[in-house]
Amino acid sequence: MGCRWRVILIGLILGFFVVSPVLAHANLAQSTPAANASLQSSPNEIRLWFTETLEPNYSHFTLRDTSGNPVQTLQSQIDSTDAHQMFMPVDNLPKGLYTVVWRTVSAADGHPTQGSFAFGIGVVVGGNSLSAIDESVMPEGVVIRWLNLLSLSLVVGSVGFWLFVWQPAVSEDHTVIRQRWYWLVWFGWVMVGLSALLSLLLFMSTTAGVPLFEALTAQAFVGVVTNTTYGHLWIARIVLWVLLGLVLLKGRGGNRSLWLALFCGALILITQSLFSHAIAVPDYAGVASDWLHLMSTALWVGGLAVFALVLFTLRQEPDRTILSGRLVASFSNYVRVAVVLLLVTGLYAAWLEVGSVNALLTTVYGLALLIKLFLLLPLLALAAINLIFTQRGLQSGQQLWFGRLRGLVGAEIALTVGILFAVGVMTSGSSARGVEAQRQAAASPPQSQPYFAMEIVNNQMMHLEIAPGYVGENQFIITPFDETGNPIEDASLIRLRFTNLDQNLGESELRLQPGGQGDYRLSGANLSIPGKWRIRMTVARPGKYDSVVDFNADIKLPPPPPIFDMMSSVPGSARMIAAALAGIALLGIGGFSAAHSRGFIIKADRLFALSSVVVGLVFLVAAVSAFSANALATSDMSSPATVAASNGTQESALPNPVQPDAASIHRGYTLFTQNCSICHGAAGKGDGPVGLTLNPRPANLSVHAKPGIHTDGQLYEWITNGYPHSAMPAFEQRLSDIDRWNLVNYIRTLSQQ
């Protein structure tokens, strides 16, 4: 193949990698109103933030009232300035409990997600609102994805076998073999088209929530192919598929046409990688790695299919032993590099998509990966047998090894079919890391902030405990002690009366029952709104005066339920190290393969070397980009640039190197809860339990976080070095630079609360 074609091939492959990275699966990151919020009046709009860009035509949410009936509102819509956001204007909603029911389709990988959360206007909302963890996979989806991988492997691997195995090993003309190979390639081409059509039907069925063969309508088809990311990639795939067919038809198996066909097949595989779990990596390394993994798989699996066809045709040939020996030698050399590339890219994908042993052993994705690995081990063993023993036996003229070779190749094909089926299961649902993140979020309810107080009346000591201590359902525990310090166990009445001191809500009452351990307890939702409450306790005993005492409690809203995101648990430094290691490994493989290759670049080992080097460079660029972002965050702040703040003071102009995306805000929320809320309060208003005891009081971040009040750099500097003349500590030694910027990004969201 001429130099001009090689330059075009490299340029187009690199061009396909220029895509915007996102986080796989569009999960809810935050909302306004927040989940479980109790509002005093109707909001002007409901706005949801998701971890991934949304398909506008297939993402929406509705509002339901207390009875579950739809509320008449304007339709939800995607924010034109940020496809991560979806909002709905509302006006004058009456008091009551409302449920937001949302359903989205990711613009990155086409997977649907759905969920709901509640908020109240003038009423109490209790409990968390987490989406159900759904690991189910559609059987038809698994079959279609398996067929898609199998057909792509067949057409790409068949062309690769002829270029890299047959032509270097066999100089004689075998018309029958060539004709059968040619029809096998055409069969693979037809199957690629069929699987593309079925994949489109699957996407339309998933987004519309209807059975597979009811999804195809003219209107739905036009909407998908013109208005969705998947549709655009599908059109590109069909164009490449048609071009591949024209090349095969016109070239009739000529050498130049085969190279063009392989080129088209490689580009089709790129469209596959651009709509997969690999898109979760916030750089281009995931897509590049996935493409190299698919390409190596296709050349191996498809090559096995052609090898089996060739062996079947050669069974009556007198020189079949010598000829098959040359083919085994050529195919083994060709597959060795593919196997090494599969191992490197597979390890990176396993780290990216699984992340932990628990996720590997307890998720559908992880179990499917284990099955894939169990099938891969005997496959590698069979390949080693052919490389070491079969090749020697055939080259020494032992006829017995020809029959054994046919059986071994057949077994390899069966194993690869099973492996591709396992991959079909893995790509049909959520990644193991994503499921694990959801589980961790579900297992991490808001931390309890129990109220505890003690008062003495009539020489009697009264303990009151309220848990969890937020607005909504609480357990009230009273432990009374008499004048001698013994628990009071003969109370005829223990009553609590609740009065809100901020609003005239009237009184509510609870009468507690003996708990059996010298205490009295009962649950109730009497603390119905945030604010200051007077809780009047009455303890009546036979033959004694009633004891009446008041407790004053400042009750807060419960924090929003935890959010989850697949990549939030992966530190940027870990991604940088993983990308660097994978890039170095791929560059090493490519360099070694190129150094031990002979001839021109069109040989298999040279092609593998080129692909390995290109993808390795993509990994290293990603690692360098991550390192540069970290270096920017850790730049010397001894003499930072300053800008004028809104109050006329000079503030740090240090740029924020961390994008305020869902992953960063989620990380910042976690850090704020762990380090800041005890003083600043859950909503950042300076009313945390410790903050109320400080002088001066902590800052009200809902005011200071408003745009234009302070720069990001100034907020970062205060977090790093502490706030002068206050109790706020410096976090330079406690939090990494990136985490301090994540905290800045989350604090910015407090201005919306």
CATH number of the domain that 74 lies in?
Answer: 2.60.40.1220
Q: What's the pLDDT at 149?
A: 93
What's the chain's Rg over C-alpha atoms?
33
Q: Is the pTM of this model over 0.85?
A: no
Q: What is the pLDDT of residues 563-590, one digit of tens each?
A: 555 555 555 567 778 888 888 988 888 8
Closest CA relative to residue 737, chosen from 657, 641, 651: 657
Please, which residues have CB within 8 angstroms of residue 671's CB and are 6 or more apart in sequence? Answer: 735, 739, 742, 743, 746
Residue 149 in 3-state DSSP? Answer: helix
Q: Is residue 637 predicted with pLDDT exceeding 60? A: no
pLDDT of residue 643: 44
Cα separation, 534 vs 556, in Å, equals 14
Higher pLDDT residue, 137 or 479? 479
| Predicted local confidence at residue 367, as pLDDT | 92
Task: Tell me whether residue 312 is in a domain.
Answer: yes
Shared domain for 421 and 519, answered yes or no, is no
Q: What is the pLDDT of residue 636?
A: 38
Please indicate, yes or no, whether residues 296 and 433 belong to a single structural domain of this protein: yes
35 with 152, same domain? no
Instruction: Give the length of the chain.
Output: 753
pLDDT at 17: 40
Is the pLDDT confidence value at 358 over 70? yes
- Final residue belonging to a domain, choices 594, 610, 626: 626
Give the per-residue pLDDT at 573. 67
Whether the pLDDT of residue 8 is over 60: the answer is no
Range of 428's domain?
A: 137-439+576-626
Local confidence band at 147 (pLDDT 50, 70, 90 cut-offs): very high
Q: Are residues 459 and 417 in the same domain?
A: no
**Can you give the pLDDT at residue 305?**
92
Distance CA(640)–CA(635), nearest Å, equals: 9
Same domain, 397 and 485: no
Q: Count H helices and E strands in the chain, helices first.
A: 21, 19
Q: Are residues 620 and 643 in the same domain?
A: no
The 10 Å CB-count burial string (b at 16+, else e) for 264-277 is bbbbbbbbbbbbbb
Q: Does pLDDT of 631 surpass 60?
A: no
Q: What one-character DSSP code corresponds to residue 656?
A: -
Whether residue 280 sits in one domain with residue 152: yes
Q: How far is CA 625 from CA 274, 294, 667, in A?
A: 21, 25, 20
- The percent of residues in the chain predicted with pLDDT above 70, rounded, is 83
Distance CA(364)–CA(289), nearest Å, equals 23
Residue 564 lies in a domain: no
Alpha carbon 445 to chain centroid, angstroms: 21
Q: What is the pLDDT of residue 552?
A: 92
What is the three-state SS of 392-453? HHHHCCCCHHHHHHHHHHHHHHHHHHHHHHHHHHHCCCCCHHHHHHHHHHHCCCCCCCCEEE
The set of residues, in sequence order, having a beta carbon less than 8 Å from that of 516 and lying 6+ positions away, is: none
Per the domain annotation, does 131 fall within a domain? no
Q: Are residues 549 and 587 in the same domain?
A: no
Residue 515: what pLDDT? 65
Which residues have C-beta within 8 Å of that of residue 667, sequence separation ≥ 6?
A: 568, 739, 742, 746
* pLDDT for 2: 46
- Please say which residue of 93, 121, 149 terminates a domain: 121
Task: Measure the CA–CA gap between 158 and 242, rounded to whole angstroms.
Answer: 18
DSSP 336: H
* CATH number of the domain where residue 522 is located: 2.60.40.10
How large is the average pLDDT for residues 371-398?
88
The string of pLDDT tens digits covering residues 705-748 is 777 678 888 888 888 888 877 778 888 877 888 888 888 988 88
Q: Please give the average per-residue pLDDT across 472-481, as a whole number.
A: 86
Q: What is the pLDDT of residue 26?
A: 66
Q: What is the DSSP letter of 21?
A: -
207 and 278 in a common domain: yes
pLDDT tens-place string over residues 266-306: 999 999 888 777 676 656 788 888 898 999 999 999 999 99
Measured between alpha carbons, how far is 26 from 131 in angstroms, rounded to an integer? 12
Please name which of 703, 701, 670 lies closest in space to residue 688, comparing C-alpha atoms: 701
Residues 142 and 95 in one domain: no
Residues 455 and 435 in one domain: no
Q: Of 565, 592, 626, which marks where a domain is finished?
A: 626
Domain of 704, CATH number, reads: 1.10.760.10
- Looking at the structure, tell me whether residues 164 and 288 fall in a common domain: yes
Inside any domain, residue 275: yes
Residue 483 has pLDDT above 50, yes or no: yes
The verdict on residue 9 lying in a domain is no
Q: Which DSSP letter does residue 127 get?
A: S
**For residue 6, is it within any domain?**
no
85-89: strand order across its sheet: 28-32, 45-50, 85-89, 77-78
The tally of domains found in the chain comes to 4
Neighbours of 216 (CB within 10 A): 15
pLDDT of 16: 40
**pLDDT value at position 139?**
87
Residue 561 forms part of a structural domain? no
What is the pLDDT confidence band of residue 11, given thresholds at 50, 70 and 90? very low
* Mean pLDDT value across residues 84-93: 87
